[in-house]
Amino acid sequence: MLSSALFFLAQVLVSALAAPVVNERASVTAASASVVSSFTPYIQLARAAYCTEGASVWTCGAACNAISDFQIYAGGGDGAATPSWFVGWSSSLNSIVVAHEGTDPTQFLSLVNDADFVPDAMDQAYFPGISSSIKVHGGFQDTFKRSASSILAAVKTVIAAKSSSKVTLVGHSLGGALALLDSIYLKIQIPSITTKTVTLGGPRVGNPAFASYLASFDLTRITHELDPIPIVPGEVHQSSADDKWYNCPGSDNTDLRCSTGNVLNIFLSDIVDHLGPYNNLWVGTIYC
């Protein structure tokens, strides 16, 4: 119980690292059934990141079976200080894929990663030339560094093997934060690529300058019902009120159909919603 409380506290304190509140209620629209369905492959990939245990073999149960066309090239991480990750090729998405495991409240070291919420400048060794005004969550950046060079090498291998420049990045919870940092890192290191980033229940990662920098990226943040973690700028939110999905553009959309408006504080939240279901799929180690 105490660990879970610390988990919530760390994530709420990180909420200071975000874009300013803007009420854009009128711009909220219902997501079509076809759009909602299109998210399923990304959800399965995010699920798989919890179940591969850093292996470079595509055997992770239901998630792997659901995306059997996926070809894994590399995997790493220890599921604790360094969350598990994998890099490979999706024929159905026609894209290189980078996926990160997220935070599991049962994993103490993962909670420690989240608890370091001090904002830091982005490390020029990984993000050369990026503005010093851009600040990110210190714990997230430290965790990102532990796998960044291995992921970069794996992505280059798949680029060469598949002659592709499209990279898709996915992750749930902490994995979503790492996917965001990866999307910037890989684009700086390999300027010729195009990226698509899809996160599930991802926490806030950086300050307004960080959010502005990401404005030009192809980025979808998926949030679920009363999940207290992802109070983020711009999202596709699954509402508990009518079980529909809504497009919530802009900075901290306070419409009641969006995460910021729906989850006013942690006392009105439900941590179970952090794990899903997303398109009837639950995400986390306990669902492997």
**Over residues 225-251, mean pLDDT:** 52
159 pLDDT higher than 90: yes
The token pair that represents 147 in the structure block: 């796998």
Scored b (16 or more CB within 10 A) or e, 197-229 reads bbbbbbbbbbbbbbbbbbeeeebbbbbbbbbbb
Write out the H or E segment, with its range, that includes residue 184.
Answer: helix 174-189
270 pLDDT higher than 80: no
Question: Model-level pTM?
Answer: 0.77
SS3 247: strand
The contacts of residue 121 (CB under 8 Å, 6+ apart) are 132, 134, 135
225 pLDDT higher than 80: no
What is the per-residue pLDDT for 17? Answer: 40
**Over residues 199-203, mean pLDDT:** 82
| pLDDT above 70 as % of the chain | 66
18-41, pLDDT tens digit by residue? 333 333 344 767 677 787 788 889
Q: Report how far residue 44's alpha carbon sits from residue 67's, in angstroms, rounded to the nearest whole number.
A: 7
55-105, pLDDT tens digit by residue? 888 988 888 999 999 999 999 998 878 999 999 999 999 999 999 998 765
Q: What are phi and psi of 120, to 5 degrees?
A: -125, 155
What is the per-residue pLDDT for 103? Answer: 77
Mean pLDDT of the chain: 76
282 pLDDT higher than 50: yes
175 pLDDT higher than 70: yes
Q: Which of 25, 39, 8 is nearest to 251 (CA)?
A: 25
**Over residues 225-240, mean pLDDT:** 48
Q: Which CATH architecture has domain 2-287?
A: 3-Layer(aba) Sandwich (3.40)
